[in-house]
Amino acid sequence: MKNEINMSDVWKWAKDLFPINRSLTGKGNLETLKYLKDIDNNLSIKYFSSGKKVFDWTVPDEWNVKSAYLIDSKGKKLCDFEVNNLHLVGYSIGIKTAMDLSELDAYLHYDKNNPDAIPYRTSYYERRWGFCISYNDYKKLIPGEYKVYIDATHFSGKMHYGELLIPGDEQSEILLSTYICHPSMANNELSGPLVSIALARHIKSNKALGRYSYRILFLPETIGAISYIHKHQSILESNVIAGYVLTCVGDDREYSYLPSKYGDTLADKAAQSVIRFIDPNYKKYTFLQRGSDERQYCGPNINLPVCSVMRSKYGTFEEYHTSKDNLSFISENGLLGSIKAYTDILFSLNKNNKFKSTVTCEPMMSKRGLRPTMSGEPGVIINPNLINILVYSDGKNDVFDISDILDLNPLDVISGQDTLISYGLLRE
């Protein structure tokens, strides 16, 4: 596929969106969604109301933070939310108090094994407060009294999300789901929204991707996916033929694949078929190693055809869920690789058919210039793929089956099928 992605745009979006404080709810989420809507006006900003029951869960209150920091006995400001929004435990309650370091200690979170990183902590469903600090800074804290300021509010409000529906020639849909609930971290998770919105633009400008409809979702993780499934379960189950959770798609290391519940869906077939030709050594995880919204799409009592193609999977890199997962951990190249990989997957799905040969026995390829007229001539290139594709086009095999049988890139299978169709040798 021709690459029409303008990576300088994508990188600008990354820089603009990175500093915004995101969580399950709140102003930062709305600001993020509005920014995405500026990129693609088709994106609808929707919401679920706090308190709504969704399956086993309840949509949480909205949370907003104005400021949050500590002041030590010498008046030094520490753990300032303005400097890095990871300093504040997500969903912390507002508080204005003072206490001795010995008492404060219970509210401080750090990671001895990753001493120069601020860890990422949240407490969505139990009201508490706390600060996150690098272990190196923690060790420098002086004894004495600390002032604690958290200007944060919880109230019955809205949990916003973005929904981008792109109609195709067919009603059947491809689902792309990513999440907007992570504050200032880059691979996990600004990369998912970046790649998703870039794909949306690419899909719209590309007729070859226009067969299927698309449902692209920007959700708070877990509760957002659960709420969305709660509202749309029936349409998802009837329309989605393949779906992907886009997360950790920004770094430039190996490709990874995490299957659906049983690993046997069209989404899995397409993902593996494409990725193994991009990266023969791609890392294959099991569904037991899942950790993102496939937990819901392939959850109890539901089994949507949803899997995930990633670069470095969440939990496998030391920058994960810390302040080190910043813009220098991801790259234009990493994002571009993911965009290309997903474009190839979407393209393969759009071109996926079970064709049948229009001829019986081998057709005469030489009269079509597809094989030399003289036998045994050295140096003549004969493409056996065309005949092989034709032989296995018996109405039973789709593009990925034929790719598998022939050990041939599905993009080459499609290209061969296009050639055969142009010669009238294949039909649906």
> For binding to its own copies (CB under 8 A), which residues are involved?
55-57, 89-90, 109, 111, 119-126, 128, 222, 225-226, 229-230, 233, 261, 288, 295-296, 298-303, 321, 356-364, 366-367, 373-378, 384, 387-388, 390-394, 406, 425
Minimum CB–partner distance for residue 304 and its own copies (Å):
11
* CB closer to its own copies, 223 vs 242: 223
192 or 334: whose CB is closer to its own copies?
192
DSSP string, 84-120: -GGGBPBTPPPEEEEEEHHHHGGGEE--TTSTTS-B-
In the complex, least distance from residue 286 CB atom to its own copies, rounded to whole angstroms: 9
Instruction: Classify burial at 124, counting beta carbons within 10 Å of its beta carbon; exposed 0-12, middle 13-18, buried 19 or more.
Output: middle
Q: 296 vs 353, which CB is nearer to its own copies?
A: 296
The C-alpha atoms of residue 174 and residue 244 are separated, in whole angstroms, by 8
Closest separation in Å from C-beta 92 to its own copies: 11
What's the min distance (Å) between Cβ of 329 and its own copies?
Answer: 18
CB of 324 to its own copies, least distance (A): 14
Tell me the closest approach of the beta carbon of residue 64 to its own copies, in angstroms: 20
In the bound state with its own copies, the residue whose beta carbon lies nearer, of 75 and 384, is 384
In sequence order, what E strands does 193-268 have?
213-219, 240-245, 256-258
Calculate the alpha carbon distances from 332 to 240, 262, 328, 339 in Å: 30, 33, 10, 10
**Helix (H), strand (E), coil (C) string for 365-416:** CHHHCCCCCCCCCCCCCCCHHHHHHHHCCECCCCHHHHHHHHCCCHHHHHHH
Round to the nearest angstrom and report the end-to-end CA distance of the chain: 23
Give least dist CB 425 to its own copies, A: 8
The Cα 90–Cα 97 span in angstroms is 19
Pick the closer one to its own copies by CB: 2 or 112: 112
C-alpha angle 148-185-28 in degrees, rounded to nearest 5: 65
Phi, psi of 9 (to 5 degrees): -60, -50
Paired residues of 309 in beta bridges: 257
In angstroms, the CA 78 to CA 87 distance is 9
Nearer to its own copies, 12 or 53 (CB): 53
Residues 6+ apart with CB under 8 A from 72: 78, 141, 142, 144, 146
CB atoms within 10 A of CB 378: 4
Residue number, 206 or 358, with CB nearest to its own copies = 358
Min CB(399)–its own copies separation in Å? 17
Of residues 34 and 53, the one with the C-beta less far from its own copies: 53
Element (H, E) at 189: none
Specify the residue, 112 or 207, whose C-beta has the smaller distance to its own copies: 112
- What whole-number distance in Å separates Cα of residue 248 and Cα of residue 133? 24
Q: Which residues pair with 77 in a beta bridge?
A: 71
Nearer to its own copies, 168 or 299 (CB): 299
Q: CB 424 → its own copies: shortest distance, Å? A: 10
Report the sign of the C-alpha dihedral through residues 25, 223, 94, 121, in that order. negative
Q: 256-294 burial by CB neighbour count: b if 16+ within 10 A, else e?
A: bbbbbbebebbbbbbbbbbbbbbbeebbebeeeebbbbb
Beta carbon of residue 182, minimum distance to its own copies (angstroms, whole number): 11
- Report in angstroms how near the CB of residue 4 gets to its own copies at its nearest: 35
Instruction: Give 331 or 358: the residue with its C-beta nearer to its own copies.
Output: 358
